[in-house]
Amino acid sequence: MTTALPVALLDLDGTLMDSASGIVAAVRAAYARIGVPAPTEAVMRSFAGPPITWSFTTHGVPADLLDEAVAGYGEHFGRDGVWDTRVFEGVPEALTALREAGVLLVVATAKPARWAVPICDAVGLSPLLDHVVGAPDDESETKGQIIGRALAWVRETRGDVPVRAVMLGDREHDVHGAADHGLPCLGALWGYGGEAELRAAGAVDVLASPADVPAAVLARVTG
């Protein structure tokens, strides 16, 4: 009997790193560029995680200004905001414990790959991860599509073996994206979504801190 390959799919913003301040500054700049009043600080913090096009259209950006808003966000974020981030306390230890237990660690993030990969390098996460899958430059994919590409990478690089995977994320998009592939999702309460959002979306459990991650992930992908 073939043992299933244990895989943890990991959201980035709000799960592995606190990037809200850089994202908020870029969102504010985008609204100023298109001449639309910016939403509240709390709403702008919620832009961390979901695809940026979804966030803009959900929060007052008309369709004819969407491309300009995305361009403004990208220019500001790529210049300044991408580097305004920090790894959440306890995350490196959690990732180390999972790798030592034999879990494959793959980031699946709605942050474009052109930013996700270098920032993981810069903050020291890359040596703890097996791969980083980010959104395309136009950020047109859903979280489910991004997770699908992450799973495809696992199949392509690890061969035709059974996989037991779980998603870890802080927003409803992580939960729904995992469900698109029949995967459970663990909610990260230290991120930006909150318990009510995660449970309503269908998270199988919510975790209070990164210290809770290894046991919760291993319970889903091993045994």
Q: Which of the 8 DSSP states describes residue 88?
A: P
60 phi-psi bin (left φ>0, alpha ψ -120 to 50, beta other): left
Whether 11 sits among the annotated catalytic residues: the reply is: yes
Classify the C-alpha dihedral 22-143-46-57 as positive or negative: positive
d(CA 143, CA 134): 10
Cα 153 to Cα 63, 104, 181, 220, distances in angstroms: 33, 11, 14, 20
Q: Which residues of 33-57 are buried (b: 16+ CB within 10 A; e: fewer)?
A: bbebebbeeeebbbbbbbbbbebbe
Catalytic residue, chosen from 11, 13, 18, 170, is 11
The CA distance from 50 to 23, in Å, is 12
**Is there a contact between 200 and 79 (Cβ–Cβ < 8 Å)?**
no
Give CA–CA dist 13/220, Å, rounded: 22
**Which residues form the catalytic set?**
11
